[in-house]
Amino acid sequence: MKVAVVGGGLAGLAAALDLVDAGHAVTVHEARPTLGGAVQTLPEREGDPEPPPDNGQHIGLGCFTEYVRFLERVGEGGSFLRTRLGLPVIGEDGRVATIAPSFPALLRYGHLPLRDRLRIPLVTARCRNAQARPGETFGQLLRRLGASDAAVARFWDVFIRPALNLPADGVDADAGLFTVRTALLGPRPNSDVILPTRPLGWMHGDAAGRVLGDRVRLDQRVESLNELDADAIVVAVPPRESARLLGEPEPALEDSPIVSVHLWFDRQLLEQPLAGLLGSDAHWVFDRGALTGSRPDRGQYLTVVSSGVPELLEVRGRELVERIAAQLTERLGEAELLWSRVSREPYATVALRPGVRRPGVETARPNVARAGAWTDTGWPATMESAIRSGRRAVQHILSSTSARVTA
């Protein structure tokens, strides 16, 4: 069967690889000059440190089984670091406390009063059977289960915000419950942290492109599905473009942005490979030099990520760099900035607001399937969701087209 895949992000790539493995003739149409979609390395500029920055640090979790399988399939199974969950969090006073999934570790989490710490395991355990109420945010649900305002802001938000790209008080309660149940209450390895160790573009889009070879058409934006010579189509593009191509009304989905600031300082500021910062626009800081095994000759090369803060999109480049750099040096010590680069992703993920409805794989045509991290995979809009959606789209097409043949 001839299958066209529209969109060369992780969803489209996962679909294309499955189709190739099942022996079908596949063509991937990608509008941009590179594959990988939202998982990109920025085009190199003179003066960039090695390796060039990514559009934003990506993190996986041990429960991202399809993501890990994808990396193995494209020959990049050795391009990530897998460690047990242990997230250093730096408070306003510079003190570090670590979030780890064990009772003794939680009791030592010094950014909260002891009575709040004691309730964290209880609230976590209550998440197992909790039922979200219609329209409830995860923050409201956590409070209903016994969390204090301080615990939501200084513990839960530290990892809910990067996982769901919204603060607990803005995100759908079911999405929060899913994250806690899957990552924290699932089998122990589910909570492992998975950190890419090579530039994102190289280990995702480029690597998949090598496997797919001449089945890929880059710089080829599909204007209409009618232009495709195919028996079946996987539409793996963002929500609005998907609706346009499928001739559907635009889904009522809001976007949530991610802003990344890449900073090279003349001295080491961060002792850990990654750390969260409380009460800062710099939600998470990553030592990119250390993570990629390519430290600059001097100083430290950091990537700072701010998730789900639309206000930061409006802050101009130089001002944003100064603001983030000042927040880091105030907390971590004086240093001189040698280089910087900003990456803004206004449409990084869909915003999983309470009550949000995402369409599934099925479209009005049995031989056309919808994919994308934003579709209804049951997962938050992550790399794992993208890959699962692509694989599910292939299963759908194969089962509905074989059903037609049998009928």
Output the smallest distance, CB 143 to ligand FAD, in A. Answer: 26
Question: Could you tell me the two tokens for 239?
Answer: 């929500």
Q: Which residues 315-374 are close enough to bind ligand FAD by CB under 6 A? A: 345, 348-349, 372-373
CA distance linking residue 359 with residue 178, whole number of Å: 18
C-beta of 266 vs 345, nearer to ligand FAD: 345
Output the smallest distance, CB 118 to ligand FAD, in A. Answer: 30
According to the binding rule CB under 6 A, does residue 383 interact with ligand FAD? yes
CA distance linking residue 358 with residue 350, whole number of Å: 10
Q: Which residues 50-89 are close enough to bind ligand FAD by CB under 6 A? A: 55-56, 58-60
Q: What is the DSSP letter of 249?
A: P
- CA-based torsion, 92, 95, 101, 103: positive or negative: negative
Stretch that binds ligand FAD, among 17-25, 116-124, 131-139, 377-385 (CB under 6 A): 377-385
Residue ranges in 314-382 assigned as alpha helix (H): 317-332
Neighbours of 22 (CB within 10 A): 13
According to the binding rule CB under 6 A, does residue 17 interact with ligand FAD? no
Question: Could you tell me the two tokens for 38?
Answer: 């939202």
Given the DSSP bridges, would you call strands 87-90 and 96-99 parallel, antiparallel or unpaired? antiparallel
Per-position x/- string for 199-228, each x denoting binding to ligand FAD as judged by CB under 6 A, each - no binding: ----------------------xx------
Number of residues lying near ligand FAD (CB under 6 A): 37
Q: Which of 5, 9, 182, 363 binds ligand FAD (CB under 6 A)?
A: 9
Output the smallest distance, CB 353 to ligand FAD, in A. Answer: 16
CA distance linking residue 365 with residue 367, whole number of Å: 6
Stretch that binds ligand FAD, among 31-39, 127-135, 330-338, 398-406 (CB under 6 A): 31-39
Residues 6+ apart with CB under 8 A from 241: none
Give the N- to C-terminal CA distance of the chain in Å, as an integer.
17
- Is there a contact between 325 and 302 (Cβ–Cβ < 8 Å)? no
Output the smallest distance, CB 266 to ligand FAD, in A. Answer: 26
Q: Which of 1, 20, 31, 225 binds ligand FAD (CB under 6 A)?
A: 31
Q: Which residues bind ligand FAD (CB under 6 A)?
A: 6-12, 29-32, 37-39, 55-56, 58-60, 221-222, 236-238, 241, 258, 260, 345, 348-349, 372-373, 381-384, 386
